[in-house]
Structure 1
Amino acid sequence: MVNMDSQPPINTPSPNPNPPSQQAAKSSWRQLFLFTRKSHTGTLIAALIASAFTAAFKTVLAVILGKIFDVTAGFGNGSLSRSETLSDISMWSLVLLGLGIGNWIASTAFLALWVVFGELQASSVRKDMFVGLLAKDMAWFDAQTEGISSLLVRIQT
């Protein structure tokens, strides 16, 4: 059983789990694209264009569905005959089919291009880190408290 007398009051502020020195630093847009190279800009621009097309397809879908419901409502209130309704619905269905195929292609490009851009960024980070580590003196590696050299010392003793 829980002793309620030892519990803090509900309205007291909770202690900050991350002291100010340990709180996560806010990243800027510049830092987000810090490892972008000029060779990555083509992929980035293509990914942004694919994102715009994907968003546009979703917007146009709402308009097309509205047109289909207008035709259905027109048939329901008697302003359209059966043949007119069937003709209009068939036409909008073909438009909807084309929209679906276009959305499929745009969404595939959207996902693929952002994955490629992310992998280019990761590759750039790995290369920069590797070059940075190669530039270090061997004494720097020996002075580290964690890593292979400190592990070897612990294994040998």
Structure 2
Amino acid sequence: MMKRRKAGMLTVIGLSAALMTGIATNAVASPKEPATQGQVSAAPTSDQIAETMAKQLGLSDATRDKLSKLFSTDGKQIQSLQMKLNEKRRELNSLNPTKKGYMKKVDALADQSADLTKQLTIKYAKSRAELYSLLTPKQIEKLEHGGMSKSAAK
């Protein structure tokens, strides 16, 4: 049971990471330099991820479209939280330990980072729950076993 949960969680995290990588790649690209074809196609889009899942899990077109929308919407929200969290990390790293009030600033940034981490964790969990709500038990089983049914995974 624990292995199934772990596999399912890893699959969802992997898909989320792939989606976030694509969004982050576009966000990091310098606005002064146009993105090259390699940069644009470096990571799969929400549509591509949904299409791959649809093929692996045997999803209907309607479910595939819902997944694509879910990945797109949640991906943007998750990206925003990740960017805020990264900004807090940069602020923390830029602090000088020899300056007055250093620990007070560290404490405040740690609290803010903890809040953002909590929001991010909850968003990932909600996204996973929404994903699972769109799938049948058999599709969930396939998802948790890397595209194979439980009996084929053994």
TM-score, reference length from structure 2: 0.43
- Return the structure number with greater helix share: 2
Q: Please report the TM-score for the alignment, with normalisation by the length of structure 1.
A: 0.42
